[in-house]
């Protein structure tokens, strides 16, 4: 393997090459602004056959023949993959892969082959699906000729830089991280916190809290050794013991001999391991049952935002300045202890009051939204204590259904971790008072988002997703009646939110039959619904009756769309401009009454 620098046409960047995005890299996270800017840069920069355009560097480490580990540039590279697959450029679907991220890989395979079976939304990466849809929408809305754009890619170049063979990659990663590049930095934060603490006992407790909180896909109580669990949690395991008021009170409950400390320096941690090694202290039936809404690094930023009382305007959840955001926490031993204590306390509240995905029984493969608290029960047959999961506000009571559906509404609307400020709002209020009415709290949060979106003056793709998703929540919560007859009942057990990002025109923009509607009616809110990318693709340009008869499961993705279906069946059995106009007025009436 040689150290080299190679200039590669973007149209050939995936030809006979395999790129691997390591596990320590962030997930794909480019937004519409960044994706559209990349396309616009290419489109506007190539205007004649003599002009070339350089996109930038792709820094790699060659690990095998034609196999490259991506060190820097994976966001741009993933976007180019989606762009070239959309344009029909042929290369192996394995040309880009994410290490140990099956959802991402499954989604890349799906977008690379139109003959693939429909992708289960719960088993996919919504960020990658959304990226592909953004590319699709941009080309269609701007009416860009795909063949001419493919030709332009011959004149667009990346500089692929192979790092020197003997370079200390860990040192290189650390330098990049200080620039706010694409790597997760939680190991550096851990090392900094441990370094500032003064005694081995303090370091030991800090490492213990960090390790147990870092496993996000189980309830944190179950990550602790049974003896420790009995010492620091209440009798039923649901909360911290009343005697636990701060870091030192946790330390007083745990003799230093109970746990061995990882005393490695920052450099040793970076050299030995780029990811957390979380010891598995939970029972086998806990493994892989739950999936957290956010990763541990993102949870650290949530705790930081809660402790510092940061609002959405502070970009507090953006990991581009990860170390700077958290650096206050290791400025003194007291602040480090306080951060670690709040890390554990917030984690307990997070597990109890923020929804997860649960993979068990009938939903073992696809998962379902889950809002449950952990309680202890005693197994008399085995004479042992075991965890039991019950609805946070009672098993399947209306409050539990309401909050679970409300949070899943927010989860599928704000898919990027840096936009999940609603979690900070929940944790901040619960930290001050666990009796807070978080249903009302989050409903008010959604109301403000809807009002701020100026939905009444928006149409088509300009309507923000929160308007569609919160409206669906309101219909779920209250039901819906038309001409005095209930057509959607409250709390329908068979309905749940799916990851939806694609705005659907029920009366299609380019119908295969019948007349085209006027633009005002076509793009009006009454004719729109929010669907999954695959659902929107299947609907295509079918007329409303064809969509209803051919794809009832897609109709079921949106309660607003179910209302539109039932209205269509009334009278002449057609979806008309008049019905769409009345539907818009009635939906606006529902949304207008939320303030």
Q: Which tens digits make up the pLDDT trace of 313-361? A: 777 898 777 888 999 999 999 999 999 999 999 999 999 999 999 988 8
Q: CB atoms < 10 A from the CB of 360, how many?
A: 14
Tokens of 113: 């082959």
453: which 2 tokens?
């979106």
Mean pLDDT calculated for residue range 459-478 = 96
Helix axes 32-45, 74-87, angle to 10 degrees: 70
**Which ranges in 453-551 belong to alpha helices (H)?**
465-478, 519-522, 533-539, 544-550
* Mean pLDDT on 64-76: 88
What does the pLDDT average to over 12-19? 92
- CB-facing half-sphere around the CA of 329: CA atoms within 13 A: 29
**536-546 residue pLDDT tens:** 888 988 999 99
Confidence band of 257 (pLDDT split at 50, 70, 90): very low
Long-range contacts of 258-265 (CB under 8 A, 24+ apart): 258/225, 258/227, 258/228, 259/204, 259/207, 259/208, 259/225, 259/228, 260/204, 261/200, 261/203, 261/204, 261/207, 262/207, 263/194, 263/200, 263/203, 264/191, 265/191, 265/195
Only one residue has tokens 């739950």, namely 290
Please give the share of the chain, as a percent, with pLDDT higher than 70.
87
Distance CA(70)–CA(77), nearest Å, equals: 9
Strand, helix or coil at 61? strand
In tens, the pLDDT along 552-583 reads 999 999 999 999 999 999 888 899 999 999 99
The alpha carbon torsion through 393, 352, 469, 302 (nearest 10 deg) reads: 150
Q: How far apart are CA 381 and CA 373, in angstroms?
A: 24
Domain limits, the chain: 5-178, 186-276+288-391, 453-592
pLDDT band at 272 (very low <50, low <70, confident <90, very high): very low
pLDDT of residue 316: 86
User: pTM for the complete prediction?
Assistant: 0.69
pLDDT value of position 266: 47
In this predicted structure, the answer to whether residue 276 has a pLDDT above a threshold of 50 is no
- Cβ atoms of 158 and 13 within 8 Å: the answer is yes
Quick one: pLDDT at residue 2?
43
pLDDT at 99: 85
The torsion of the CA quartet 375, 379, 383, 387, rounded to 10 degrees, works out to -30
Could you report how far apart the first and last alpha carbons of the chain are, in Å?
64
Q: Token pair of 329, please?
A: 């926490």
Statement: residue 115 has pLDDT above 90? no
pLDDT score for 162: 84
Range among 60-69, 71-80, 416-425, 468-477 with highest mean pLDDT value: 468-477
Mean pLDDT computed over every residue of the chain: 86
The per-residue pLDDT for 360 is 83
């Amino acid at each position: 393997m040689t150290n080299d620098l190679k200039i590669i046409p973007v149209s050939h960047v995936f030809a006979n090459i395999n790129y691997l995005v390591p596990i320590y890299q962030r997930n794909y996270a480019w937004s519409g602004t960044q994706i559209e800017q990349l396309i616009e840069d290419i489109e506007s920069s190539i205007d004649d056959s003599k002009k070339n355009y350089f996109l930038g560097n792709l820094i790699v480490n060659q690990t095998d023949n034609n196999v490259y580990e991506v060190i820097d540039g994976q966001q741009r590279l993933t976007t180019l993959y989606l762009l070239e697959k959309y344009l029909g450029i042929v290369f192996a679907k394995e040309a880009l892969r994410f290490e140990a991220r099956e959802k991402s890989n499954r989604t890349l395979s799906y977008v690379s082959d139109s003959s693939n079976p429909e992708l289960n939304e719960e088993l996919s990466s919504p960020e990658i699906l959304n990226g592909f849809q953004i590319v699709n929408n941009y080309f269609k809305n701007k009416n860009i000729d795909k063949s001419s754009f493919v030709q332009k890619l011959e004149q667009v170049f990346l500089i692929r830089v192979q790092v020197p063979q003997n370079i200390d990659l860990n040192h290189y990663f650390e330098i990049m991280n200080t620039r706010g590049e694409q790597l997760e930095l939680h190991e550096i934060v851990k090392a900094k916190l441990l370094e500032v603490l003064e005694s081995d006992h303090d370091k030991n407790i800090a490492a213990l809290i960090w390790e147990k909180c870092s496993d996000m896909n189980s309830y944190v109580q179950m990550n602790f050794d049974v003896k420790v669990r009995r010492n620091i949690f209440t009798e039923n395991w649901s909360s911290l013991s009343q005697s636990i008021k701060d870091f030192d009170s946790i330390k007083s409950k745990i003799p230093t001999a109970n746990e061995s400390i990882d005393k490695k320096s920052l450099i040793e941690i970076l050299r030995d391991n780029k990811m957390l090694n979380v010891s598995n202290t939970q029972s086998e039936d806990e493994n892989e049952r739950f999936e957290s809404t956010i990763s541990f690094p993102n949870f650290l930023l949530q705790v930081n935002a809660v402790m510092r009382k940061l609002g959405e305007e502070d970009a507090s959840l953006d990991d581009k300045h990860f170390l700077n955001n958290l650096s206050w926490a290791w400025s003194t031993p007291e602040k480090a202890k306080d951060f670690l204590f709040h890390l554990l306390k917030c984690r307990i509240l997070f597990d109890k009051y923020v929804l997860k995905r649960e993979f068990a029984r009938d939903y073992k493969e696809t998962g379902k939204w889950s809002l449950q608290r952990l309680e202890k029960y005693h197994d008399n047959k085995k004479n042992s204590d075991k965890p039991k999961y019950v609805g946070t506000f009672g098993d399947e009571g209306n409050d539990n259904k309401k909050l679970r559906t409300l949070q899943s509404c927010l989860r599928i609307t704000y898919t990027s971790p840096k936009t999940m400020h609603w979690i900070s709002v929940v944790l901040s209020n619960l930290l001050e008072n666990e009796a807070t009415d978080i249903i009302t709290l989050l409903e008010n949060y959604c109301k403000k988002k809807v009002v701020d979106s100026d939905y009444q003056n928006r149409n088509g793709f300009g309507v923000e997703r929160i308007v569609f998703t919160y409206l669906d929540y309101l219909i779920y919560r209250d039901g819906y009646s038309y001409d005095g007859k209930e057509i959607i009942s409250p709390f329908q057990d068979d309905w749940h939110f799916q990851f939806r990002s694609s705005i659907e025109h029920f009366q299609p923009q380019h119908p295969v039959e019948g007349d085209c509607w006027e633009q005002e009616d076509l793009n009006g809110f009454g004719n729109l619904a929010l669907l999954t990318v695959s659902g929107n693709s299947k609907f295509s340009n079918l007329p409303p009756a064809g969509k209803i008869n051919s794809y009832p499961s897609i109709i079921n993705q949106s309660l607003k769309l179910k209302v539109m279906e039932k209205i269509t069946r009334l009278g002449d059995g057609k979806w008309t401009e008049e019905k769409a106009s009345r539907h818009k007025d009635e939906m606006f009436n529902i949304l207008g009454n939320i303030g």
